[in-house]
Amino acid sequence: MFTDLTPYLFFTGKGGVGKTSLASATAVKLADEGRSVLLISTDPASNLKEVLETKITEKITPVNGLPNLHAVNIDPEISAEEYRNRVISPLQDILPEHELKKIREELSGACTTEIAAFDEFARYVAGDGDEQPYDVIIFDTAPTGHTLRLLELPAAWSDYIETNPDGASCIGPSSALKTSQKRYKKVVERLQDKGATTIYLVTRPDGSALREAERSGRELDEMGLSNQVLLINGYFEPIDETDPFAQKMKAKADQTLHTMPVRLQAMKQQLFPLRPYNLLGLDRLRTVFEPLDKEQIIENSRSILTEQHESELPDLDAFVDELTSKKEHGLVMTMGKGGVGKTTIAAAIAFKLAGRGYPVHLTTTDPAAHLTEHIGELSLPASMTVDRIDPEKEKQEYIETVLGQRGKQMTEEELKLLREDLESPCTEEVAVFQAFSKAIHQAKRKFVVVDTAPTGHTLLLLDTAGSYHREVLRNTKMDATRLKTPYMYLQDPDYATLLIVALPETTPITEAAALQADLRRSGIEPYAWIANQSMSAATITDPLLKQRAAEEVPLLEEIEKKHADKLYAIPWISGDQVLQALIENRDKDVMA
């Protein structure tokens, strides 16, 4: 894997495929070999703390037990606050306090947060002119859509600054960014240099993950980031050849890999086996590059008695029954870390509601999600519609609407300036939020099921909702008690039903708990948790799978006792048609 080691390594891919595990294992291996390594997370939903068992902050921190391995987590909120201070500081002796306050409010949106995070990211790639103290810098990036957005930003800023030199937007006064253009150019050049940067496309033997790897690989290639390697994580080979569940898992994985996109088949690639445990801590991370010890796995499994814990937990049908017993319309949102199955669960809920005769609209706010791929060839019920909030499409429609409304009485010069202003990177943020608001309002007359983006993106979107809410209340001349903003709808449990989806694993549960805490601080109370892909409910004899199932049981109990008022569960489905199995409630038939 490291025959042509470059100083910059990027691990990217669909959420939940194991980017952090492989990035961390690589960092540990290189550090063990004597190299000086810096591991950076650019994921708003980072879980480096759990994986490395070290308190990782926005400051570079040595990893416990490995003095030549350091790690840092680029915290978007802290980066945004520091960025705002840098923009406002030169103006403090020039502008009155109310003007400074207005600028700070304008810099409080999700767009600013994203750009500030990239500003930190650029500093590590381009450096600050000092000699690089690390042999290798490893980036554990956010899920694919977020990563691609960050890599596209320098061009967006450059275009905006060149065409609107005196303007200001959510990125602050554009003149404040001019000093950074040289750095951003250096970042792109370094990323495009095959001798400097390697892109590891991380995937699993899963159709949607492979399609995402192929799609992001092509897009990165178009940006000039063409030194790519495919890493297939979590490949399962049965130890017990008589276990039908295990055989189904392997057959499904083999078929998926056999039919993977041609571009991926032609790439350099490496396979990493499924381990009987979660990769937490240095000792377990060190096993990533070692072959499985099957004899030890068999020995360990002899003492394991897997409980049928999840058979006692209600399933999706029970959730839909409860939902429809209380209302005939409303908003349902699936939320959580990337890769936990939010899209499939959202689609299954929508199909089940439509199957009961309710009008349903299914949509997604995830820039990397493609609902049509999840639905496949399934026939949509007559009462169900499907779309996705496409950022580029929403941006163009928003621009045309604004030009139509504001441009009628403008001169050519004024129109030109308006068009330039609308090319600001934050226009997309506003457009996506408006589309999100429309979806929320549709729930007044039908069920609207929203598959949200991975956690970090979702919180940014909700932050935009909160900013809009505050702006409306500040500027309205109406009685505030008669207003209801999108944010207020999300806070209304009679209108919005929020579901937190998590896998029964330590890191996804920790992340889901953090998301729930953030929501509660915003006055938004989740309705329930859904534990997805639970192995402990399956009928299995394979020693490796038995060990994975045994690790789940105390985690499910933790969710019930510490986190969720209600907990629903979905067993691991080993067949090809997971969504269809969920819709038809064939979970247990598929597993048997």
Residues designated catalytic: 16, 18-21, 43, 507
Read off the amino acid at residue 577.
Q
Q: The tokens of 60 are what? A: 């570079």
Q: Which residues pair with 500 in a beta bridge?
A: 335, 529
The DSSP-derived string for 445-475 is TSEEEEEPPPHHHHHHHHHHHHHHHHHHHHH
Residues 6+ apart with CB under 8 A from 435: 389, 394
| CB neighbour class for 460 (10 Å; exposed up to 12, middle 13-18, buried from 19) | buried
Residue 287 in contact with residue 275, Cβ under 8 Å? yes
Between CA 35 and CA 300 the distance in angstroms is: 34
Q: Where are the alpha helices (DSSP H) in 241-341?
A: 244-258, 262-265, 282-286, 294-301, 316-326
Q: The tokens of 465 are what? A: 């909702």
* Enclosing H/E stretch for 148: helix 144-163
Read off the amino acid at residue 21.
S
Read off the amino acid at residue 439.
A
Q: Which residues pair with 499 in a beta bridge?
A: 334, 528
Between CA 441 and CA 486 the distance in angstroms is: 8
